[in-house]
Chains A and B, each alone.
Chain A
Amino acid sequence: MVDLFPLSLSLRVASVATTLTVLTGVPIAWLLAKRRFPGRDLVSALVLTPLVLPPTVLGYYLLLLIARRGPIGGFLGAFGIELAFTWRAAVLAATVGSIALLIKTAQAGFESIDQRLEQAARTLGHSEWSVFWTVSVPLAWRSILAGTILAFCRALGDFGITLMVAGDIPGLTQTLPLAIYDHVQANELQQAHVLALLSVGLVIALMLAIGRYARLKY
């Protein structure tokens, strides 16, 4: 009765998006926390812009970039990769909308590490990369985890940006939030309720699982 495709699509999109977010966001957070470089304040502000701009506006700018005749879309199109109006665009939308949450949280985590610990690691011969992995990340893992959860939930719930760059194409790019919205628009309130409950239930299950894991570690 209820089409569950949006649920599974959203889970997959959010998972891929969160993976991308963590892989790019954690190093950026570390850079912002630990290094002074020209343009640092600019980068910091840029990171926050997706949180500030209205999603449709953000989506529009992204669309200009990734559409077939846009700079990025055209480039990828040459390799036969379609970006706009595909699930990949949904991943992009979710990533852009949520990466700031991870970066800011992880940055705070890194900043709270006593810099003498990292200096000690350097004097003991470890390279920057090794210092990052053996000292910074283990000491900031709680913040990184919190940021990842935030980012995942945000990625799961993205609406405006996804709508613009991926479209609301049922069976293709109709993510959970878009599906719920469509059901409401079409007055199919029961289906809307089911999907909404499922997404909330999903987040609760995720939080419980992570909470248990975090307690086990300590």
Chain B
Amino acid sequence: MSMISVSLEKRLGDFSLEAHWTSAANIVALVGPSGSGKTLTLQCIAGLTKPAAGRIVSGGRVLFDSAAHVDLRPQSRHIGYVFQGYALFPHMTVSQNVAYGLKTGSRERLSARAREIIDRLGLTALCGRYPNELSGGQQQRVALARALATDPDLLLLDEPLSALDAPLRRELRAELVQALRDCGKPAVFVTHDLAEAYQLADVVVLYENGRTTDATPKDELLWNPSSERVARLIGARNILTGTVAEIGQQSVVLEWRGQRLEAARSPSRPLNVQIGDALAFFVRPEYVRLIRKDRPLADLQRHVNCLQGDVVGDRDEGTTLTLFFRLAAPGTPSQGTYDLEIEVPKLVYERLGVARDRQWQVSIHPGTIQPLPGVGGRESEVDLFSDSRFPTPDSQ
């Protein structure tokens, strides 16, 4: 059973961490800005830091339980840890580093196991080198090999790819996914890059300022964030507020900037609103369609949620462009000087001649307007991260 359950409290000076999440998935990503408590969580799981209170269980083993006075030493937790910066022993060669955790067994068996791991990770040619003679990618592999050599029950990785430059990072991401799946061990890794988390993990726990969400399957997180705050955390753009005008079975109509927008309702998430309530929602920039002008007007019937406006600015992102779209309707734009961000591939931009032609009609498919439950628009004092599905430590 590869279930990992973390519930802990830890205070460091002004900062206080309260992490509560549990997951049966194989790979869990802890995502959040620096200083939000992710590394501290890993240290608590590994036993390198002691939480003030809580309970940590991994694979059926209780690693820490403040109420029952259980606190296994890091040496006894059978956890492989890949540190940020890799923490390779500078005074030992690659093979000595990898073999460092292998104490049991005869000398012969020691080297065999170490050699096996070294071969598996493609480090054979580098056996006799010292860490300062290795490239970033090679160091990362040595760190991984060292952590895996002891056949741990759980693998912890702290920003495994952040020390590398972008192209290498992309390349090694694939390698790391493969290595993790190959070894078949449950893993928890920390990253501040949501895209990386998406690629490597099955579930994601969001960290912000010492608080966590529950472990959410990645799709749900990205496509169906549970609240406005979570939406902000995952970097959603076009987070807007409208007023509920109509409530239907499949959809809800919102009034926004004098326009009526139809948004599809998520079947899994209840929407407790009444007509007249404010409701936050977000629109994915890549799903706002520019309507081609060379098509006959009659096709306009097919488009739902049509908006008329001007492109007041654009930003070249390399392969795509972000357009800043302001509605023709009177009133103050929702996001400063514009209402919507629209993302178009460069090809479309050039084909449609957006550089010269700034007046456009856009349409948004109802399924891509995501209502965000909770009170929209203003910061709520209620902890938006609490989820009634996860039992609190007291109630266990």
Shortest beta-carbon distance, A132 to chain B, in Å?
14
B74 and A117 contact, CB distance less than 8 A:
no
B residues near A117, Cβ cutoff 8 Å = 87, 89
In the complex, which residues 197-217 of chain A have their Cβ closer than 8 Å to any Cβ of chain B?
Answer: none
How many chain B residues touch A (Cβ–Cβ < 8 Å)? 24
Q: CB-CB contacts of A82-122 with B at 8 A, as 1s and 0s?
A: 00000000000000000000000000000000101101111
Closest to A123 in B: B81
B48 and A122 contact, CB distance less than 8 A:
yes
Q: CB-CB contacts of A1-12 with B at 8 A, as 1s and 0s?
A: 000000000000
Shortest beta-carbon distance, A140 to chain B, in Å?
11
A122 and B75 contact, CB distance less than 8 A:
yes
A116 and B75 contact, CB distance less than 8 A:
no
Of A116, A122, A125, A138, the contact of B91 (CB 8 Å cutoff): A138
B80 and A123 contact, CB distance less than 8 A:
yes
Closest to B84 in A: A116
Shortest beta-carbon distance, A54 to chain B, in Å?
41
A119 and B87 contact, CB distance less than 8 A:
yes
B100 and A124 contact, CB distance less than 8 A:
yes
B150 and A124 contact, CB distance less than 8 A:
yes
Shortest beta-carbon distance, B61 to chain A, in Å?
15
Q: How far is the CA of A122 from the CA of B48 in the complex (A)?
A: 8
Count A-B pairs with CB separation below 8 Å.
55
B91 and A123 contact, CB distance less than 8 A:
no
**B146 close to A (CB within 8 Å):** yes
Shortest beta-carbon distance, B380 to chain A, in Å?
38
A residues near B391, Cβ cutoff 8 Å = none
B74 and A123 contact, CB distance less than 8 A:
yes
A interface SS class: helix
Of B73, B83, B91, the contact of A119 (CB 8 Å cutoff): B83
In the complex, which residues 177-207 of chain A have their Cβ closer than 8 Å to any Cβ of chain B?
Answer: none
Closest to B49 in A: A119
Q: CB-CB contacts of A120-151 with B at 8 A, as 1s and 0s?
A: 11111111000000110011000000000000
Of B48, B85, B91, the contact of A139 (CB 8 Å cutoff): B91
Of B47, B73, B83, B147, the contact of A116 (CB 8 Å cutoff): B83
A residues near B74, Cβ cutoff 8 Å = 119, 122-123
Shortest beta-carbon distance, A131 to chain B, in Å?
9
B75 and A135 contact, CB distance less than 8 A:
no
B residues near A126, Cβ cutoff 8 Å = 75, 100-101, 103
B87 and A120 contact, CB distance less than 8 A:
yes
B83 and A139 contact, CB distance less than 8 A:
no
A127 and B75 contact, CB distance less than 8 A:
yes
How many chain A residues touch B (Cβ–Cβ < 8 Å)? 16
Q: How far is the CA of A18 from the CA of B47 in the complex (A)?
A: 38
Shortest beta-carbon distance, B79 to chain A, in Å?
6
Closest to A134 in B: B100
**B90 close to A (CB within 8 Å):** yes
Shortest beta-carbon distance, A23 to chain B, in Å?
23
Q: CB-CB contacts of B161-172 with A at 8 A, as 1s and 0s?
A: 000000000000
B residues near A116, Cβ cutoff 8 Å = 83-85, 87
Say yes or no: A123-B100 contact (C-beta < 8 A), given A135-B89, A138-B91: no
B residues near A121, Cβ cutoff 8 Å = 89, 100
Q: How far is the CA of A116 from the CA of B147 in the complex (A)?
A: 14
Q: CB-CB contacts of B33-56 with A at 8 A, as 1s and 0s?
A: 000000000010011100000000
B residues near A138, Cβ cutoff 8 Å = 91
B residues near A119, Cβ cutoff 8 Å = 43, 46, 48, 74, 81, 83, 87
B150 and A125 contact, CB distance less than 8 A:
yes
Closest to B101 in A: A124
A125 and B48 contact, CB distance less than 8 A:
no
Of A122, A123, A139, the contact of B90 (CB 8 Å cutoff): A139
Closest to B80 in A: A123
Shortest beta-carbon distance, A92 to chain B, in Å?
35
A124 and B146 contact, CB distance less than 8 A:
yes
B residues near A122, Cβ cutoff 8 Å = 47-48, 73-75
A residues near B47, Cβ cutoff 8 Å = 122-123
Q: How far is the CA of A122 from the CA of B101 in the complex (A)?
A: 9
Shortest beta-carbon distance, A114 to chain B, in Å?
7
Q: How far is the CA of A135 from the CA of B47 in the complex (A)?
A: 19
A residues near B103, Cβ cutoff 8 Å = 125-126
Q: How far is the CA of A125 from the CA of B85 in the complex (A)?
A: 20
A residues near B150, Cβ cutoff 8 Å = 124-125
B residues near A125, Cβ cutoff 8 Å = 75, 101, 103, 150
- Please list 25 pairs of residues, one from A and one from B, whose beta carbons are closer than 8 Å in the complex, sorted by A's number: A116-B84, A117-B89, A119-B46, A119-B48, A119-B74, A119-B81, A119-B83, A119-B87, A120-B89, A122-B73, A122-B74, A122-B75, A123-B47, A123-B74, A123-B75, A123-B80, A124-B100, A124-B101, A124-B146, A124-B150, A125-B101, A126-B75, A126-B100, A127-B75, A138-B91
Residues of A within 8 A of B (CB): 114, 116-117, 119-127, 134-135, 138-139
Ranked nearest first, the 5 interchain pairs of A and B with the lowest CB-CB distance are A124-B101, A116-B87, A122-B74, A123-B81, A120-B87
